[in-house]
Structure 1
Amino acid sequence: MAAGEAVQVRPTRRSRRALASGATLVSILLLLFGLPWWTLTIAARWPAPVVAAGTAVFAVALVALPALMYLGHGRRRSDAAARAGDALLGLVWILFVWALLGNVARLALTAAGVADPTRSRAVAVGVAVVSAVLAAWGYAEAMRVPRVRRVDVTVDRLGAGLDGVRVVLLTDTHYGPIDRARWSARTIEVVNVLDADIVCHTGDIADGTVDQRRAQAAPLGTVRARLLRAYVTGNHEYYGEAQGWVDHMRTLGWEPLHNRHHVVERDGARLVVAGVDDVTAGSSGLAGHRADHGAALAGTDPGLPVLLLAHQPKQIGDAVAAGVDLQLSGHTHGGQMWPFHYLVRLDQPVVQGLSRHGRTQLYTSRGTGFWGPPFRIFAPSEITLLTLRAGQRRPDLLRQE
């Protein structure tokens, strides 16, 4: 009897979870589309034909978005559907944000004595114009070759022979439904001009398999570095073909630091360059994949400085425990589309830039490419050139060694 009852309960709980998830999704969609629809049509009191046309556009978009996302990112993996769905998602996010701000502005106009319908129509026009301008600018920002962001980082344990070593960081290239093979080639041209000693890619190379994105990733094989080209997996590799990308990067001449390390040397000074799998690897079900700092640093000289590649900034806690000097990460995209960075900050300790966590420093890139919506708004992409500087070997560091 008890066993029978247990069998009855599990499907019910699964059904309730599915219903809750479905209700949450529907609520989010209604909010995302509903606020812009109300702001741009109903509240503005346009003539009936304008309201009807606007309502029809929003209704079609509301139905189309989940369908396109399912076709583009579900089992069928239609690149055409993914392109349309991602663009629509980005556009409705922009409209939602500025409709929200527009309705705040409505309060100011009310206080200033501006009456309706002038007030609401001014808000509607303002929201539409600002959204259109930001969408055009954000698309251009997403598709452009990233700017070079130059950062000097003092590493206290770095030997004099490696003072000034140049490390280029690429991350979150996200080769995907939009064919960016030319963008990839032009980005690598910029990288090669930087005359790097070490070039790193901290994951999320692509959305899709190696066969799907081979042409877009091909320019990575032409990257030049004097000492090392190193790569670690990101979470998006585990949505598709993580081991395939690890193997492919090796064929392109990169060193996959799959919970491993490599020691580089110049003028008698040495630096441990280590890498760990993404934090999601352990739950991926892929044999041998999980973040393992112990394995990555096994056999290293404890007196040597350590540069760690780890896709997500939240992996910094394990890096601190392992005595890492500098961790390089990506994942956040700097928020990608303002003000999404506030939500990113709920999940990650840092959104972008250089930060210190005890003795360990963390550099978080805003990403080289983009994911999903082809827009970057107030979160520009970057190719990062980090110049490592030898610092004073302070007594407290010597005691820790």
Structure 2
Amino acid sequence: MAAVFLAPFYLLCNAYILYWMIRWLHAAVPVLGKGAGLILVLAVYSFLMMSLLTSFLVRRHPIRRYLKKISDQWLGSFAYILGITLILDAGHRILLLTWLADTWLYSRGGMAFCGSLGAAGMAAVVIYGIHHAGKISLTRYQVKISKKYAVEGKRTMRIALLADLHLGSSVGKKQVERMTELVGQCEPDLVVIAGDLFDNDFSSIDDPEGIARLLAGMKSRLGTWACWGNHDINERILAGFTFPVPGGVQVDPRFEAFLRQAKIHMMNDEVRLMDESFYLAGRKDPQRIEKTGETRMEPAELLNSVDRTLPVLVIDHQPKQLKELAAAGVDLDLSGHTHNGQVFPGNLFLRLMWKNPCGVRKIGDMYSVVTSGAGFWGPGLRIGTDNEVVLLEVEFRDS
């Protein structure tokens, strides 16, 4: 219920933004700073400010998808509007203590100029973020595993690693088309989706049948294998905070039907011997099982029966328990979840929270590979980070 407790803070932040916005409008665009113009500005701002709540309350109406898009985009924009307003306010207060306090900067023209500069900067950042979120890049990594790959004539394996598609109101068919085109260019032996295929609400997906056909069209020698993520569950979300669903959290059966149509094999704390040459394991997500009432095997328990002379690969949505996985004999752990922070400065703070926030890191004899994801969560913004498909080229060396 954190959203309820944070609501007063959210309202205060919006009041603070409006205070400075009105002062700037009064100086820069007088017609919008008073009378009917000001009423129009307040009405539009109030609609955006309340879109988080309206998209949460409207459940079954077709308009909900559009309200959700607006509210998600507002959430990201709001963070940058607040940040830029705080920076300008701080600069305003600091310069008041200098000789500049008696200059043009503190005139009506100075207010108009500084406010316009801040508004232009905010708009440029958000427009760039929206544009960049529609792109997907191909990231290549190479790792070497000191075990034999028992497939005649092959010493390497190509893995296309995806995660965090977040199919829903923000991520749809166009993004999946771009993603599957890149996967096709990889010519992979194996396609892995490391969780968060969905964005909590199957009903928000536009044309799920068409998206499933695109995913089913991904070609690889060994097929497409996945694990669940923390968003692959039916939950109500307000401003990023989850709320209980009447009757308890349930897995929407349409999720699994979609996977069958998309020819995606879901691994739920299970291990498979693939190609008679390596093991592939998929783990349950720790946040998801807290809500479904399931349990999750520890690494040593999950991999108890594997032949450790063969390569062991694990799909685990969140890059956690890396030391435990390495100790259990895992050679390669494939994850997502972090989005690499998705927007600046989140990518800077992420390094304080995760041993491997994104990219490749060696833990003991194990490689942890974390992708920033092929989609995005919440606001359709990517600033300082990229959507990506990871092509992982694994070279095996018989030790």
Normalising TM by the smaller chain, what interval? 0.7 to 0.9
Structure 2 counterpart of 1:199, one-letter code: V
CA distance in structure 2 between the partners assigned to 1:242 and 1:272 by the alignment = 29
Cα deviation for residue 105 of structure 1 reads: 5.1
Relative to structure 1, is the Cα distance of residues 303 and 392 closer, same or farther in structure 2, using a 3 angstrom cutoff? closer
The one of 216, 224, 228 aligned to 1:229? 224
Cα deviation for residue 345 of structure 1 reads: 4.6
SS of residue matched to 1:96: helix
For 1:2-401, what aligned pairs fall within 5 Å after superposition? 22-31=4-13, 33-42=14-23, 46=27, 49-52=31-34, 53=38, 56=42, 60-61=46-47, 63-71=49-57, 78-103=64-89, 106=92, 113=100, 115-117=105-107, 119-144=110-135, 146-157=136-147, 159=149, 163-178=155-170, 180-208=172-200, 213=205, 214-215=208-209, 216-239=211-234, 241=251, 244-246=254-256, 248-265=258-275, 270-285=277-292, 288=294, 290=296, 292-294=298-300, 296-342=302-348, 344-345=350-351, 347-391=353-397, 393=399
Relative to structure 1, is the Cα distance of residues 195 and 112 closer, same or farther in structure 2, using a 3 angstrom cutoff? farther
Structure 2 counterpart of 1:131, one-letter code: M
SS of residue matched to 1:30: helix
CA distance in structure 1 between the partners assigned to 2:92 and 2:362 by the alignment = 42
SS of residue matched to 1:350: coil
CA distance in structure 2 between the partners assigned to 1:376 and 1:193 by the alignment = 23
Range with greater deviation from structure 2 (117-126 or 187-196): 117-126
CA distance in structure 1 between the partners assigned to 2:45 and 2:174 by the alignment = 36
CA distance in structure 2 between the partners assigned to 1:361 and 1:173 by the alignment = 23
CA distance in structure 1 between the partners assigned to 2:87 and 2:147 by the alignment = 48
Structure 2 counterpart of 1:228, one-letter code: G
CA distance in structure 2 between the partners assigned to 1:120 and 1:291 by the alignment = 60
Cα deviation for residue 196 of structure 1 reads: 0.2
**What whole-Å deviation, never above 9, does each CA across 1:268-302 have from its counterpart, x for those lacking one?**
xx22111101111321225x563553554242102
Range with greater deviation from structure 2 (56-65 or 295-304): 56-65
Cα deviation for residue 207 of structure 1 reads: 2.0
CA distance in structure 1 between the partners assigned to 2:95 and 2:113 by the alignment = 9
Relative to structure 1, is the Cα distance of residues 291 and 130 closer, same or farther in structure 2, using a 3 angstrom cutoff? farther
CA contact (8 A) 1:275 1:296 kept: no
CA contact (8 A) 2:213 2:261 kept: no
Structure number with the higher helix fraction is 1
Cα deviation for residue 361 of structure 1 reads: 2.1
SS of residue matched to 2:82: helix
Cα deviation for residue 219 of structure 1 reads: 1.2
Aligned-CA RMSD value:
3.2
**TM norm structure 2:** 0.80
Cα deviation for residue 244 of structure 1 reads: 4.7
CA contact (8 A) 1:308 1:327 kept: yes
Higher relative contact order (CA 8 A, sep 6+): 2
Cα deviation for residue 335 of structure 1 reads: 1.2
Q: Which runs of 5+ in 2 are unaligned?
A: 236-250
CA distance in structure 2 between the partners assigned to 1:101 and 1:155 by the alignment = 49
Relative to structure 1, is the Cα distance of residues 380 and 104 closer, same or farther in structure 2, using a 3 angstrom cutoff? farther
CA distance in structure 2 between the partners assigned to 1:220 and 1:314 by the alignment = 27
Cα deviation for residue 148 of structure 1 reads: 0.5
Relative to structure 1, is the Cα distance of residues 199 and 42 closer, same or farther in structure 2, using a 3 angstrom cutoff? same
Cα deviation for residue 323 of structure 1 reads: 2.5
How many residues end up aligned between the 2 structures? 368
Cα deviation for residue 204 of structure 1 reads: 0.9
CA contact (8 A) 2:371 2:388 kept: yes
SS of residue matched to 2:286: coil
Relative to structure 1, is the Cα distance of residues 250 and 193 closer, same or farther in structure 2, using a 3 angstrom cutoff? same
SS of residue matched to 1:183: helix
SS of residue matched to 2:75: helix
CA contact (8 A) 2:52 2:72 kept: no
Cα deviation for residue 228 of structure 1 reads: 3.4
Cα deviation for residue 223 of structure 1 reads: 1.0
CA contact (8 A) 1:209 1:244 kept: no
CA distance in structure 1 between the partners assigned to 2:146 and 2:359 by the alignment = 19
CA distance in structure 2 between the partners assigned to 1:209 and 1:352 by the alignment = 26
**TM norm structure 1:** 0.80
Range with greater deviation from structure 2 (34-43 or 252-261): 34-43
Relative to structure 1, is the Cα distance of residues 81 and 305 closer, same or farther in structure 2, using a 3 angstrom cutoff? same
Cα deviation for residue 133 of structure 1 reads: 1.3
CA distance in structure 2 between the partners assigned to 1:172 and 1:192 by the alignment = 19
SS of residue matched to 1:46: helix
